[in-house]
Structure 1
Amino acid sequence: MIQLEVLTQEIQINNPSVKLAIRREDLIHPFVSGNKFRKLKYNLLQAKKENHHTLLTFGGAFSNHIAATAFAGKENGFQTIGVIRGEELESKIKENPTLQFAQDCGMKFEFVSREEYRQKESDVFISKLNHKYGSFYLVPEGGTNEFAITGCEEILTSADSEYDYICCAVGTGGTISGVINSSFEGQKILGFPALKGDFLQKDIRNFAKKDNFSLITDYHFGGYAKVTEDLIEFINLFYQKNKIPLDPIYTGKMVFGVIDLIQKKYFPSGSKILLIHTGGLQGVAGMNLQLKNKNLQTIQFDD
């Protein structure tokens, strides 16, 4: 995969006491953006090293990881298989922009019940998939493993040593682990989980080599894939002001949280804060379909 130049943009806020900037990882690749590029980079190299021809992974209805793996596989000569949570989705591919995109990239789907999906890491479940599809390189749900962490360690560069705080959204914990490992002395890493609860601490510590991080658990907006009208309005206003699109599942919640914390004077005066935009914008179309069905305001990135 060819990596495009990564841009860092300063964000204007009504608080001159802190400096706020955002790393545009969403621009790293047109279809494998943000942390998905980072997580897949070394997994693809390892799959080739092991002479695999097929990638198999897991995800839900509007999974950024499914879409990214499908395109990355096509671009790098792999067959791809997506194990999808929810049997009912098999008849709704054309209604789902994420699954339709993945299918157009050549991905084959294995639709399973939610009960079966919870067993996806078991030896019995993987054995059944091997029996049906033959040999494959398994990429975990969300892409997080040791190779993904190595990729995410490349997000920060030497130029980022000026920042006091690095903030990123948290899903499976892989991205923040890589950022923690490559962070500079004196920096504090703040993670904003998209899921309810504080259970990710353990997962992060399995990969993180430092302890300079905290999880801010107040900005999940109801849990994974849940949004509120306030969040959608914030994303639209943020785009109007900064011309930077945010996704509603991960980065949108994180940016909302950081700006709210700035207003609450969480950060000391003079702080320099870097936000990591982890991509995920392909999921906006699917979210907008759900919002339209509920007659709610949609996400608008058109001028």
Structure 2
Amino acid sequence: MIHFPEIQSEIQFLTKINEVELHILREDQIYPSISGNKFRKLKYNLEEFSKGNYDAILTFGGAYSNHISATAAAGKEFNTPTIGIIRGEELSEKIAENPTLSFAQKAGMKLKFISREQYRNKSNPEFLEKLKSEFGNIYILPEGGTNELAIKGCEEILNENTREFNYIACAVGTAGTISGIVKSSENQQIILGFPALKDSGFLSDEINRFTNRSNFKLIKDYHFGGYAKVNNELLEFINDFKRQFGVTLDAVYTGKMMFGIFQLIQNGFFPKGTKILAVHTGGIQGNEGMNRKLKHANKTTII
């Protein structure tokens, strides 16, 4: 039986601007190899896997997926076979050039590369049955790891030490993390989600699938053009943030969230006396791959 340790994150004060306090919840530091919200999402899924007679955990992701990296790391940590279904057949020839995929492979994950057209069927029952016939009795985790057990794990992000905050902010990908945070938040708290996707209209419905609470708001102005899209303003902000506070952000999720929070504070979005807690959901492993792309384009890299 796999048992994850019970962990609470450190809360770090960052700054006070316009009489608004900003703190950060260091979920990125909770576990050496499985950082942030991925630790939370995998916790109860791995426990469920260990209860059954499964051959492996199978999941889905793209070239720089934090979820693929974390699942592979967890597989190595807990001696559990893992399989990654990777979007993009062309990537099979580029594993050595990709830090995320090369790490996953070295951690023991078996990689299967499929076309983007095939990948769209990742939740199709017929497609999943084909994967079962190919790989055996597999425990299937959806892309991003979001399911009911993942939400249960993400509910543990907040605790008695986070009750004093008026706003809780987090980056949003597949809506699993924010759903767990909404479920475990205090009635008076407002949860702000910062989508990394440009087309994020489905996210409210996703959150409502997991909770009937409505104390959340999605801030959709800070995706910087879409998933994994960046510009020099964002990159310079991330590097200035590291110099000022000693905290590394990633350019896909936490950098965009934190950029948005600072802009909202400066624009008077928050009442004076507000205390904000920004959840650092990890994802730093993706910086190496992002920097390779940025160097190739002669752009600013993340320090």
Structures share a fold, TM > 0.5?
yes
Q: Which residue of 2 aligns with 1:49?
A: 51
Letter in 2 for 1:288: N
Q: Which residue of 1 aligns with 2:270?
A: 267
Question: Which of 70, 74, 77 is equivalent to 2:76?
Answer: 74
Residue 199 of structure 1 and its aligned partner are, at CA, apart by: 2.1
Q: Which residue of 2 aligns with 1:20?
A: 22
Report if aligned partners of 1:53, 1:77 keep a CA contact under 8 Å in 2.
no
Question: Which of 256, 261, 268 is equivalent to 1:258?
Answer: 261
For residue 285 of structure 2, give the secondary structure of its aligned residue in structure 1.
Answer: helix
For residue 273 of structure 1, give the secondary structure of its aligned residue in structure 2.
Answer: strand
Q: Which residue of 1 aligns with 2:188?
A: 186
- Consecutive unaligned residues in structure 2, runs of 5 or more: none
Residue 131 of structure 1 and its aligned partner are, at CA, apart by: 1.4
Q: Which residue of 2 aligns with 1:83?
A: 85
C-alpha separation between the residues in 1 aligned to 2:154 and 2:7? Answer: 16
- In the alignment, structure 1 residue 244 sits paired with structure 2 residue 247: yes
Report if aligned partners of 2:55, 2:136 keep a CA contact under 8 Å in 1.
no
Question: Which of 194, 203, 208 is equivalent to 1:205?
Answer: 208
C-alpha separation between the residues in 2 aligned to 1:271 and 1:102? Answer: 41
Residue 16 of structure 1 and its aligned partner are, at CA, apart by: 4.5
C-alpha separation between the residues in 1 aligned to 2:130 and 2:84? Answer: 14
**Within 5 Å, which residues of 2 pair with 1:220-231?**
220-231=223-234
Render the CA deviation track for 1:81-122: whole Å, top value 9, x for unaligned.
000000000000000000000000000011000000001111
C-alpha separation between the residues in 2 aligned to 1:44 and 1:186? Answer: 33
C-alpha separation between the residues in 2 aligned to 1:3 and 1:194? Answer: 29
C-alpha separation between the residues in 2 aligned to 1:199 and 1:132? Answer: 32
- In the alignment, structure 1 residue 32 sits paired with structure 2 residue 40: no
Q: Which residue of 1 aligns with 2:94?
A: 92
For residue 39 of structure 1, give the secondary structure of its aligned residue in structure 2.
Answer: helix
Report if aligned partners of 1:66, 1:102 keep a CA contact under 8 Å in 2.
yes
Residue 3 of structure 1 and its aligned partner are, at CA, apart by: 5.8
Q: Which residue of 2 aligns with 1:114?
A: 116
Render the CA deviation track for 1:217-245: whole Å, top value 9, x for unaligned.
00000000111110000000000000000
Q: Which residue of 2 aligns with 1:171?
A: 173
- Consecutive unaligned residues in structure 1, runs of 5 or more: none
Q: CA RMSD in A?
A: 1.0
Q: Which residue of 1 aligns with 2:104?
A: 102
Q: Which residue of 2 aligns with 1:287?
A: 290
**Within 5 Å, which residues of 2 pair with 1:133-152?**
133-152=135-154
Residue 130 of structure 1 and its aligned partner are, at CA, apart by: 1.1
Render the CA deviation track for 1:18-53: whole Å, top value 9, x for unaligned.
111000000011221000000000000011112323
Letter in 1 for 2:203: L
C-alpha separation between the residues in 1 aligned to 2:205 and 2:182? Answer: 14
Residue 209 of structure 1 and its aligned partner are, at CA, apart by: 3.2
Q: Which residue of 1 aligns with 2:10?
A: 7
Report if aligned partners of 1:27, 1:34 keep a CA contact under 8 Å in 2.
yes
Report if aligned partners of 1:3, 1:28 keep a CA contact under 8 Å in 2.
no
Letter in 1 for 2:296: N
Q: TM-score, normalised by structure 1?
A: 0.97
Residue 141 of structure 1 and its aligned partner are, at CA, apart by: 0.4
Render the CA deviation track for 1:63-89: whole Å, top value 9, x for unaligned.
000000001012112110000000000
Letter in 1 for 2:112: E
Render the CA deviation track for 1:117-173: whole Å, top value 9, x for unaligned.
001111221121111111110011000000000000000011211100000000000
Q: 1:298 and 1:155, CA in 2 relative to 1: closer, same or farther beyond 3 A?
A: same
C-alpha separation between the residues in 2 aligned to 1:176 and 1:234? Answer: 24
- In the alignment, structure 1 residue 154 sits paired with structure 2 residue 156: yes
C-alpha separation between the residues in 2 aligned to 1:26 and 1:123? Answer: 34
C-alpha separation between the residues in 2 aligned to 1:3 and 1:289? Answer: 36
C-alpha separation between the residues in 2 aligned to 1:31 and 1:135? Answer: 26
Identity rate, percent:
57
- Number of equivalenced pairs: 299
Report if aligned partners of 2:18, 2:266 keep a CA contact under 8 Å in 1.
no
